[in-house]
Amino acid sequence: MSAASATSSVSDVRTDLADAVGASRTSREAAERALRLAVAVRARAGEALERTARRAGVDEVERARLRGEYAAAARVVADRRAALDAAREFERAATVVADAFEVEASSASPLAAALLELIGSQAGRAGARGRTARTSTRRTTSTRLGATRPRTA
């Protein structure tokens, strides 16, 4: 690998790592917002359930419905909390990798050279198949049904 291509590869890797750190931060912030919203919905469902506990003559069907709403909201909070934990973990990992690359790349270590070689070979293989070796930072969303569990990475 020539010095010019190594320099461009280093800057490409730096850019990709900065994009990954930024995307992971954005993902964590979105997970935090989703958790806050889910907690608020659960709190409203709990308040509605508590109001019916003190009222005389409340239909048991209505109480069962409110208990179901609260249980569903509690499951959503648990799912959002797990998603936030995963997003925080990914953000920490992306930051560690980016920081480690900066340390290794600035010291011209064999590890950094091997990483650049690996990235270059993957880009070459992807180009040979007619694809670009670019990762997407676009966040995808999915609609969850009932008791389905989210996929993990």
> Taking 80 as the threshold, does the pLDDT of residue 50 lie above it?
yes
Q: What's the gap between Cα 90 and its chain centre?
A: 7
**pLDDT tens track for 73-83:** 999 999 999 99
In the chain, what are the domain boundaries? 3-128
Question: Looking at this protein, which amino acid is placed at residue 137?
Answer: T
φ, ψ for residue 129 (rounded to 5)?
A: -90, 0
Whole-angstrom Cα distance, residue 124 to residue 131?
10
pLDDT of residue 57: 77
Band of residue 146 on the pLDDT scale cut at 50, 70, 90: very low
pLDDT of residue 141: 42
Which one is predicted more confidently, 109 or 39? 39
Structural contact between residues 45 and 105, judged by C-beta atoms closer than 8 angstroms: no
Mean pLDDT to the nearest integer, 48-73 = 88
